[in-house]
């Protein structure tokens, strides 16, 4: 008999264990005996591909960041909403710099980890739901590949409209993405082709995350080129004003509120 994973807060449980391993505080997952087990994020794609990546980097301080993360935080202006704040690595640096920053995440466990690490202003839920709270921001951050939250052609205009509803005049979105189309690996090029045949963007990944006995529901996460991003932004309240691809295939896209 095979058992489907229990649907739960995969990201939160994973970050809680990663924090326990990093700090030595709290119950840690053991590999048997007394050795802490490295905490691995398991990502399943709907073609059967399974990837594992150490979760510890979500806790990294600025010294261990990629150069584009530093350039992203240097572009921050004014009241900032860190969308998909994760373990709060970026929000913590902004706080230290005196930037009024709010971390938003759908994972309750991620927010617990943020709180333990000292992030002060946190919101649990989606950007769409946050609109009703009546707050507004000058900068929205979608870091750690969170261009992915645009999901695809249907969701992108809806998320961008929700961000516009939270935006102050002249607001910006700084979003980090990865251009997926440099690869020659037939596993990936074949996946991109299959997606296109189904009317999806090539890098519109259908994923599920796993941690221990838990899994998420299947969800779309977008890995797109800057040109595809420009297409998704067209016709919304935002204008793509800059693409910094100095660390290609990774890029930082800046969107500005029009009008």
Ligand X SMILES: C[S@@+](CC[C@H](N)C(=O)[O-])C[C@H]1O[C@@H](n2cnc3c(N)ncnc32)[C@H](O)[C@@H]1O
Question: Which of 13, 44, 105, 179 is in the footprint of ligand X by CB under 6 A?
Answer: 105
Residue with tokens 């860190």: 82
- Shortest Cβ distance from residue 197 to ligand X (Å)? 27
| Per-residue x/- track, 72-91, ligand X (CB under 6 A) | -----------xxxx--xx-
Of 68 and 189, the one with the shorter C-beta distance to ligand X is 68
- Shortest Cβ distance from residue 110 to ligand X (Å)? 4
H/E run at residue 220 = strand 219-222
* Count of alpha carbons within 13 angstroms of residue 242, beta-carbon side: 13
| Per-residue x/- track, 5-34, ligand X (CB under 6 A) | ------x-----------------------
Tokens read off for 26 = 């709290």
Transcribe 63-93 into DSSP letters.
Answer: GGS-HHHHHHHHT--SSEEEET-TT-HHHHH
Question: Which of 66, 95, 112, 126 is in the footprint of ligand X by CB under 6 A?
Answer: 126
- Shortest Cβ distance from residue 83 to ligand X (Å)? 6
The C-alpha angle with vertex 137 and arms to 122 and 233, in degrees rounded to 5, equals 110
Q: Is 66 a binder of ligand X (CB under 6 A)?
A: no
Site for ligand X in 130-159 (CB under 6 A): 143-146, 149
- Shortest Cβ distance from residue 32 to ligand X (Å)? 29
- Shortest Cβ distance from residue 246 to ligand X (Å)? 18
- In this chain, which residue has its C-beta nearest to ligand X? 144
* Count of alpha carbons within 13 angstroms of residue 216, beta-carbon side: 22
How far apart (Å, rounded) are the C-alpha atoms in residues 239 and 219?
Answer: 27
Q: Is 106 a binder of ligand X (CB under 6 A)?
A: yes
Of 143 and 232, the one with the shorter C-beta distance to ligand X is 143
Considering only the C-alpha atoms of the chain, give the largest distance between any 2 of them, rounded to a whole number of Å: 61
Contact call for residues 225 and 253 (beta carbons, < 8 A) = no
Closest CA to 156 of 208, 105, 220: 220
Q: By CB under 6 A, name the binding residues for ligand X.
A: 11, 58, 83-86, 89-90, 104-107, 110, 126, 143-146, 149
């Amino acid at each position: 008999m095979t058992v489907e994973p229990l649907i739960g807060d995969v990201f939160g449980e994973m970050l809680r264990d990663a924090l326990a391993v990093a700090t030595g505080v709290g119950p840690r997952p053991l590999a048997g005996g007394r050795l802490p087990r490295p905490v691995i994020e398991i990502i399943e794609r709907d073609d059967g591909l399974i990837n594992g990546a150490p979760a510890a980097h979500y806790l990294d301080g600025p010294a261990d960041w990629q150069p584009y993360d530093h350039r992203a935080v240097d572009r921050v202006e004014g009241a900032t909403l860190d969308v998909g704040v994760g373990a709060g690595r970026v929000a913590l640096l902004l706080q230290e710099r005196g930037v009024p920053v709010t971390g938003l995440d759908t994972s309750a466990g991620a927010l617990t980890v943020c709180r333990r690490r000292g992030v002060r202003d946190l919101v649990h839920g989606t950007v769409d739901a946050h609109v009703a709270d009546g707050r507004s921001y000058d900068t929205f951050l979608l870091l750690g590949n969170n261009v992915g939250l645009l999901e695809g052609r249907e969701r992108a205009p809806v998320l961008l409209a929700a961000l516009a509803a939270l935006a102050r005049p002249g607001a910006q979105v700084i979003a980090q993405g990865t251009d997926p189309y440099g690869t020659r690996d037939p596993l990936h090029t074949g996946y991109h082709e299959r997606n296109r045949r189904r009317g999806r963007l090539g890098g519109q990944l259908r994923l599920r995350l796993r941690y221990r006995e838990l899994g998420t529901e299947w969800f779309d996460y977008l890995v797109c080129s800057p040109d595809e991003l420009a297409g998704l932004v067209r016709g919304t309240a935002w204008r793509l004003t800059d693409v910094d691809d100095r660390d290609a295939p990774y890029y930082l896209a800046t969107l500005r509120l029009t009008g």
